[in-house]
Structure 1
Amino acid sequence: MRWILVAVVVLAATVREAMPQCLTDEDRIKILGVNQELHEVVDFGFELYKELELGPATSFLATGRNLFFSPYSVWSAFVLAYFGSGGKTEAELESALGMVDKINTLTKLRALELTYDLRRSTGSSYTFNLANRIYIDAASPVRDCIKNILFREIAETDFRNTFKAANDINDFVSETTQGRIPRMLEESDLKDAQMVLVNAAFFKGIWKYNFLSNNTFLAPFRTDPYLSFLEETGKPLNVAEMVSMMNQTGSFKYGDSKDLEAQILELPYEGGAMSMFLLLPGEEGPSGFGRTVASLSSASLSKAMRTMKPNTVNVQLPRFNMSVELIDELEAALKNLGIRSVFDPEHANFSSFAPTPRMSVSKAVHKAFIEVNEEGSEAAAATVIAVNIRTRPTPPVSFVCDRPFIFFIYDNDTENILFLGVFRNHREAL
């Protein structure tokens, strides 16, 4: 794994302390506790994924497209909108995000921020940066208490100068993503804008047990289970159906979940805090894939993970990179989840941000990029399963991703899904 990153034109937040009459009737609430129970974050991510994958207005499954996004990034973005919301808008966000109240949410978000800050300060073996910014038009002054709460995120700008505003936003995203997303918005996107909510995330990790490049080989990828192959050879009739398949046999945590109707495998990154998990539906084709998607929840995933055990596994995984942009699909999916009024100038209520009427989110853009390859540390290159030669070795379990599969980047400590994707169209991933 080399690079993964995402940017969202919505929002996300960190908070030091709440000031009077912003989030609570109390004068001051200090955020001291740490709460890492994140099942509602995972469930929101899965529900959003299901809408993108299966929803009639989006349906990545039906159209055969790859998908990659950061559910945590989208969740944290709309959590920031939640802090500034009121009335019906607040109720919709609270329900869709699985929140109890703003103070509880504030505590959770702050605890996550502190977790990642501490890891960076102690020299973690991976890089994960999450940067957030709320651009509000200078003509719509932000309430002082919100400025105190979101002191790192609030930025006032002059949206009448769309050229400068767009450049400032694009520079912010480019810097956070180390140039992988150099341009997020065009000037035209800022026409009549009053508030632009930006979130950018960046991840870089190295496999704990890397794939050796000389073990990578060309292999068929069966996007369509009924694709015609040459008899006996197993090779597709069209060479365009071939992928560069990474290959290794080693000791990995593996399970076969009846609830998910899929095999599940963990590929850890160096340091152990982060892993990529792979889900390979048991039945080939759209119907089997759809059943696995429909079964995803924090509870079913947690149950599947508890049954995983170390096993000798032959892993075959395509080498790929993927770039995905969500605009209309994201808005349609969010509306199907009940987040509607934030996009409606007549009904959006962001009175906690500023008293300006008719302030709404005019556009949500999510751009994501991932590259998966053989790279890993040199020390891990020779790491394989040790087999006792005095006993008959157990044949390895096969985990061959030669057909559509789901993958996600998982924080093992906070039990949080940071990035989630589907590889099904190898032509899009070259």
Structure 2
Amino acid sequence: MSTTPDHGRTSDDVRRTLEAVWRIEAAKVTAVVARVVGDVGLAEDLAQDAFVQALEQWPRNGIPDKPGAWLTSTARRRAIDRIRRDVNLASKLQQVGHLEELRVAELAEGDFDAALEDIDDDVLGLVFAACHPALTAQARISLTLRMIGGLTTREIARAFLTTESTVAQRISRAKRTLSQDGITVEIPSGAELAPRLASVLEVVYLIFNEGYAATSGRDWVRGELMEEAIRLGRVLAALAPSEPEVHGLLALMEIQASRTRARIGHDGEPVLLLDQDRTRWDWALIRHALVALDRAVSLLDAAQVPAGPYVLQAAIAACHARAHTADATDWGRIVTLYAQLGAIRPSPVIDLNRAVALSYADGPDAALEVVDGLVAAGALGGYHLLPSVRGDLLARLGRDDEARAEFARAATMTDNDAEKALLLRRAAGGD
């Protein structure tokens, strides 16, 4: 495979280029190798070996004309070498089969585009493997960011404010589980598809939410996690274009991300939705999101099936996005959508969000009745937004002392410094 030496580039330049290529190609490389070796964990190790080899060779020999194909071919050769070293060589080669030999030959000749359609299927299968329900939520998140997102262990640890050793252990245990359980790169079908797809979407949204409203640390927003989740969502939309919930999730994340610049004040404190300067919203991203939502709705209409949870949440977010001022928000529509969402996915969090919408549609008294019901039922006992919402409703009803007590209680229940500061300010009587 040809390379183009560029003696004007420094080693740091080449490394940055390689890291950018790896972000794009990591999933493809791992997926192709997984088909060769039949082991997702081993495939990821071999793909990483190819990355290390590129770090050694590209600064010296130049960046290949087709860097993705170079990485895939190098990892595939390592896979074949691994099989040849196996004492059960004949059995292993028989498992690989004639079809795989043809696919490998295509890639070896550098005809990367000829195998692209199959590779896309392999990548989707790899996504399903990385998000397999047999793994814990944290393991699925780490493995997805590593194998699909191409992030390093250090980057994942930094994003989630944990140690590299913790992330490395999660990834190692996850790969061992996939290997022991015989979980391979394949797209589930039939009755198995819906729950497996739900697991994939859950992982992507968990990544996004940790970026959108960090659960701990100094910063309320971690943009790199939001960006990575949206990138993963766009990959999924390209790989599974006929799945409405995929487009719904992408629309939801893009609408929420569009508010990023307006969500943080000059002092670093969070700015609540109704107080945001909407001219600072990313309207280009909102338009892109609304196209994704329209696509999801069209697919649902064509199939004559009801909307799923991500499409409904995207529709709620779209009500805010379509309102150029807070007063223009269609709160009645939002209440209805939350009721539909609660019917298919009962949750006290959804009930709390519906109460917020109800407070603007019908007044804070009606909403407080719903919230007090949640308190009486013991729901959301450790969830700081319950006393926060109750405090806001009490403040709007003029019950200021009770409101301040609720804000103070909410402040003790969050580990995020920026959010805590906002709640303490409101507890002290600030706006």
Band the TM-score falls in, shorter-chain normalisation: under 0.3
Higher helix share: 2
State which structure, 1 or 2, has the greater radius of gyration over its C-alpha atoms: 2
Higher relative contact order (CA 8 A, sep 6+): 1
Higher strand share: 1
